[in-house]
Amino acid sequence: MSGMKKQSKEIRQKRRSQIKAEFISIGAMLILELMIIASAVFTGVNYTNYKNNCTEPLDAVVTSVSEDRVLTHNTKSHGGNYKYITETTVTISVTTDGVFNEKTITGDAQYFKKGQKLRIYYDPGNPSRCYIEEQLEVTRKTFIALIVIAVLWLTACTAVSLIAVKRYKKYKRGE
C-alpha cells in the first residue's frame, strides 16, 4: 500500500514539474509576442511618419554604389571578438529642383544600380529626411507581415495557454 502512495506522489510531483515548465514556456511565448507587437508598432509608426511628412516627390539617379567592409566589435557573442560586416552605401543624385544635390543612403546593393532612376519623397520642412518609393513599400509589407505573424503567434499562445490551464485544473482536482 505504501508503495502505491509513494508512486502516486511521484507521479503528482512529475505532473507538477511539467505544469511549471508549461507555464514558463507560455511566459516565454508571451514575451516573444510582445516583441513582435513592438516591432510591428515601430514599423507602422515609421511608415506613417515618412508617408505623412515626406510628401514632395523628386526624380533622382543613382550616381554610385559601393560596398565597404566595416569592422565592428561585438561584446556579447563570439567572446567579444571583432568581426566584419558589409555595409552598402548608395549615393543618389537629384536630377531636378536642387533641394539637395546628393544624398547618401545605406542600403542593399542588389536593389540599386548605377544610372538607375528613382522616385524620392522628401520632407519640405527637413529635406534631409527622405525615402525612396520602393523602400517605403518594403516597410509597408514588413508591417503587414508583422501584424499577420503577431495574430498567428497570439492564436498559438492562446491555444497552448488553454491546454495548460485545463491540465492545471485537472491536476488541482487530483485527476
Q: What is the pLDDT of residue 41?
A: 94
> Would you list the DSSP string of 140-161?
HHHHHHHHHHHHHHHHHHHHHH
The secondary element (H helix, E strand) that includes residue 29 is helix 2-53
**Does the residue 6 lie in any domain?**
no
**Does the residue 138 lie in any domain?**
yes
**Does the residue 82 lie in any domain?**
yes
Name which of 135, 169, 120 is nearest 43 in CA terms.
135
**Does the residue 96 lie in any domain?**
yes
Give me the domain span that covers residue 160.
38-173
Q: Which three cell numbers stand for residue 60?
A: 533622382
Q: What is the pLDDT of residue 93?
A: 61
Handedness of CA 112, 115, 118, 124 (dihedral sign): positive
Number of compact structural domains in the chain: 1
State how far the alpha carbon of 40 is from the alpha carbons of 33, 110, 142, in Å: 11, 25, 8
Q: What is the pLDDT of residue 52?
A: 93
**Does the residue 31 lie in any domain?**
no
pLDDT along the chain (175 residues), means of 10: 69 82 89 93 92 87 72 56 62 59 65 82 83 84 94 92 88 77
